[in-house]
A and B are shown apart, each in its own frame.
Chain A
């Protein structure tokens, strides 16, 4: 629907890294038995992605499947496609204990890119963002200063950051502060 708006309506900032709110993004929380063959097939059929390993994401086409916990995945897709994908997954998983729920609007989503992206994140999350420790396809659920968040590294070198919608402004301001152009640390490879 055209009346739909994302948390920050595409706000952006450029400092030692670029921070961009990605606008409306489809997201689905999927809980179930990650090792179950039917479950895995349902994920592949719906998204084109296999079930990722622990702390990994798998991206195929416009879809991303993110490992969130031993029994939870996050599926990222087009905002408009999310409701139908929930139905598809629910139908495919009927008969087994699983939960698919649309959480697209419960979240704010950011892209962080540029040379200072790793250091920007290392200022707000207690995670080793060094290139040797955090590479393409890695994801962490952690905290972004005072709020919960998830971060993964895309194939194009940009990071995707997800937080709750209500704290979207806080996270944007936080990343903006951490990406201050005069605050490079020059300590991460």
Chain B
């Protein structure tokens, strides 16, 4: 039975809990109690909840194996509704009042799971690569039968309800330091102390709520003091230093190029009602990183090593010392090293019966073994666990000689098993950015090779491993190594060299461990099929061996084929054992096989932390013109244009959007329309070389433009494709103002700067983006001049301000620049006023325009008006593959200029191909509206058996002026096929028939705009 150790046993047990504070929580609906300081895992054990989940494939009962982030089994769904989160580790979840947890992958219940049949009936099919082998034929079965079945029976947590939004907030924080120490154990603290003494700015991250790592559990003396005393003194001394920042509950998540690292701080997971952000992602830039990330114990590979109650020896010791919990009353310890004897001694001290220590080594261990024997504990050497009897918890264990196949065995009745297969340094963060590893034969683990660290911009190493993360496993070595790492890091960060003085430590000498990859050594197939390597993915010794027989030699391939080391724990427990089995099967040495790649994050971090503050109102910037609020209040149906929001139409009550558009189109043609055109890009280009520069950027000539005049221009990329268009105004001798499309403002500005900075760096040209300095309002329609004259000020008559010219002046008392330009074919002015006065000017126009039938119009009306005139729109008629010639814009390609961007590209054979699709108007034979983007089909089929296409619709609208659909499109040989009817199959099954016509369907001679 798993219980709390009585406080009377010793005050050593339960050092992290406050027994006076009771906390109530639920697990699978059952109410349970724990203490302040408990993790969900320790509280479950205290409530005798051995069974915490069902395994991934076979639905085998699973219990807690570990006590930290390496835990593979105890994943729960945590919280409810808009705070529900799947796959949360019980071992890293601090208990709080009202915690609500649900086990995963069980159906219908944790206790009675139907999926367990998988293991009884199908285990021999669910071997390595079973998906690939079993479910490949017949093909349609995968989608409709196999996949739904597998998805139901296999898997981890459920995704949160898609209708709910996370109730919490998150944030990022940028931090800069000289030395980042990841891990607040004794090595990390000592490293920080030594580094900080140099004056370096030091940040220390500790993933747990408490400092010191394993040392308080494992014992020994530091500087003559109990570890916890030294830890607290050191922590307090560091906290008092101005150049040191300490963060607990903050995991070093990843190490990236050039000293960039991420920290994952969990602010309110342990106190959900505290308020403020839940997680904070630290985005750290540092000169040096010390990874003092500790080590993780390995399981032993014996049959039934996954039965609830079998756990790591260190974890059993942690539960006892840290949280005052024992997973059993009669425990067995199995080991290949001395460290596990600490567990035997600890449990013995806690009043738990230690039935036997099974030591695989022929001669057993050293001083710690002697202590266990002296305590009266049975110790057997060259001994092994043959098998733990299946079930929902440990009841019976068969023991045999290690060097045997297990035929001769004895059985013992125990209710918990502690196992230790040795220790693996946590090399993840060392490895994230390319730190290399060496195989340490003596300790049977990979450890960082200090001569091959991750390198920074200068080719020098920027990560130093310290303590047990560096393979220095004893207390004394670990602390000393911390001091050395701290001194090195500070010096590398440019601070005075420190002597790596470390406090003296008292430690027990340990006898060498023995690499044991199979227990017993000659275990047969029946045992190996019950011997788990990867608990989370249900990968067994037999699976890896099978993969090797089937030819999987690369450890990376074996990982993917067997799923060993995948999912949320990424093989923290299973990696070394798995590759040892693989190496053995391949007849290779372990270092030859190597490890899989260590990638960040070290441990899963929340999506919320990655997103940071970007949610709700600050999810994405919305760009607003000075008239945004008025638009919003006056029925704007918004259309996103880049990050701008522009009114698609101004919808009046009782109107549909389409009706609003029809009204706006007619009113602008017949009376007066106002368009908020503030989003148009406005770039000032000035300098002695500005004319030359613009001649290179535009396809037509801009240097010859007279002051006071405007000219429409096209821009191409150097590959000849049309990228932007707009009206350019000559302001003075060396100043031009270039209008760009709304979406082009920032990119064309960057485009100009790039050419000026990288290619024509010696040209005297300055560019300024003044897009947002002005509110620009298009005043359009037959009454446009009337309203401006009514407001009074500058002369806007035909003679004073002719078509395609501009003037500065005042209108209605506003400082204004009026451009006589038209994108609608109507009499039209675009008036720019300072943005701060944009709303006031708009109001003045609306008021003065009332008697002339003024109405605002949106982007859809803008589109229809220009389409009626056959004007192209960047992004509709162009898509990055279209050149000016395709659009009949040859007239805008200067023949006089020696060069301009795109000119050479236009000479390429494909660009001059007469078969390129070209712009035409399209008129449906029945007046209907063509579907946008529809393709026209020609005769025959292509190589894929699809009908050949001969064109596509680029713009299509209903014109209320003409009372029918209008469209433009690109059609093969289009201009030569006027009058021909071509077919556009719609996705609705209808064949749309359209006649090829002139794209200009309204006022072809331009009489209306030139009045």
B276 / chain A contacts, CB cutoff of 8 Å: 180, 182-183
Top 9 A-B pairs ranked by shortest CB distance?
A: A182-B276, A3-B840, A105-B835, A166-B623, A4-B836, A170-B621, A128-B176, A106-B772, A106-B773
Q: A4-B836, A187-B173 are in contact. Are A101 and B620 (CB under 8 A)?
A: no
Beta-carbon nearest neighbor of A97 in chain B? B764
Contacts of A146 in B (CB 8 A): 614, 620-621
Chain B's closest residue to A27 (CB) is: B773
Whole-angstrom CA separation of A5 from B770 in the bound complex: 18
B837 contact set on A, CB distance < 8 A: 1, 3-4
**Who on chain A is nearest to B625 by CB?**
A166
The residue that B613 contacts in the complex, of A5, A79, A123, with Cβ under 8 A, is A123
Closest Cβ of chain B to A107, distance in Å, is 7
Q: With A1-B837, A5-B839, A31-B768 known to touch, is A101 a contact of B684 (CB < 8 Å)?
A: yes
Of residues 309 through 336 on chain B, the ones whose CB sits less than 8 Å from some CB of chain A are none
- Min Cβ gap A144→B in Å is 9
Q: Which residues of B have CB within 8 Å of A103? A: 768, 770, 773
Which residues of the other chain, B, contact A104 by a CB distance below 8 angstroms?
Answer: 773, 834, 836
Residues of chain A whose beta carbon lies under 8 Å from any beta carbon of chain B: 1, 3-6, 24, 29, 31-32, 71, 79, 97-99, 101-107, 119, 122-130, 132-133, 145-147, 164-170, 173-174, 177-178, 180, 182-183, 185, 187, 189
Task: Evaluate contact between B768 and A99: CB separation under 8 angstroms.
Answer: yes
Complex contact A183–B835 (CB within 8 A):
no
B283-333 CB contacts (< 8 Å) to partner A: 283, 285
Interface string of B485-524 (1 = CB under 8 A from A): 0000000000000000000000000000000000000000
Does B432 belong to the interface (CB within 8 Å)? no
Query: Which residues 760-775 in B have Cβ within 8 Å of A in the complex?
Result: 764, 766, 768, 770-774
With A180-B277, A183-B171 known to touch, is A164 a contact of B772 (CB < 8 Å)?
Answer: yes
Task: State A93–B644 Cα separation when bound (angstroms).
Answer: 36
Asked if B172 lies at the interface with its beta carbon under 8 angstroms from chain A, I say: yes
- Is B766 a contact of A177 with CB atoms below 8 Å? no
- B171-183 Cβ-contact flags toward A at 8 Å (1 or 0): 1111110000000
Query: B169 at the A/B interface (Cβ < 8 Å)?
Result: yes
User: Could you tell me the distance between the alpha carbons of A125 and B688 in the complex, rounded to whole angstroms?
Assistant: 37
A29, A31, A147: the one within 8 Å of B621 (CB): A147
- Nearest residue (CB) in B for A103 is B773
Please tell me if the beta carbons of B277 and A105 are within 8 angstroms of each other in the complex. Answer: no
How many A-B pairs have beta carbons closer than 8 Å: the answer is: 136
Judging by beta carbons under 8 Å apart, are B618 and A166 in contact?
no
Contacts of A107 in B (CB 8 A): 772
Is chain B's binding surface mostly helix, strand, loop or mixed?
A: mixed
Q: How large is the interface on B (under 10, 10 to 19, 20 to 34, 35 or more residues)?
A: 35 or more
Q: Contacts of A3 on B, CB cut-off 8 Å?
A: 814, 837, 840-841
Asked whether B773 lies within 8 Å of A105 as measured between CB atoms, the reply is: yes
Complex contact B172–A123 (CB within 8 A): yes
In the assembled complex, B274 has its CB within 8 A of some CB on chain A: yes
Q: Which residues of B contact A180 (CB under 8 A)?
A: 169, 276-277
Q: B770: which A residues are within 8 A, CB to CB?
A: 101, 103, 106
Judge whether B245 is part of the interface by a CB distance below 8 angstroms.
yes
Contacts of B814 in A (CB 8 A): 1, 3
User: Could you say which residues of chain B place their CB within 8 Å of the CB of A133?
Assistant: 176
Distance between Cα atoms of A86 and B344 in the complex (Å): 83
Give which listed residue, B172, B280, B766, B834, contacts A105 with CB less than 8 A. Answer: B834
Contacts of A165 in B (CB 8 A): 626, 772, 835
Q: Are A177 and B836 in contact (CB under 8 A)?
A: no
- CB within 8 Å for A122 and B768 given contacts A104-B773, A180-B277, A182-B274: no
Taken together as a complex, chains A and B put the C-alpha atoms of A97 and B771 apart, in Å, by 22
* Residues of the B chain whose Cβ atoms lie less than 8 Å from the Cβ of A105: 772-774, 834-836
Q: Chain B residues near A167 (CB, 8 Å)?
A: 621-624, 643
Instruction: Across the interface, name the chain A residue whose C-beta is closest to B685.
Output: A99
Provided the pairs A99-B686, A166-B623, A189-B242 are in contact, do residues A126 and B174 lie with their beta carbons within 8 angstroms? yes
B156-189 interface code vs A (CB 8 A; 1 in, 0 out): 0000000000000101111110000000000000
Residues of A within 8 A of B245 (CB): 187
Residue of B nearest to A129 (CB): B174
Q: Which residue of B lies closest to A171 (CB)?
A: B621
Whether A126 pairs with B768 at a CB distance below 8 angstroms is: no
* B618 in contact with A170 (CB, 8 Å): yes
A183 to B612, CA, bound (A): 13
Q: How far is the CA of A4 from the CA of B774 in the complex (A)?
A: 12
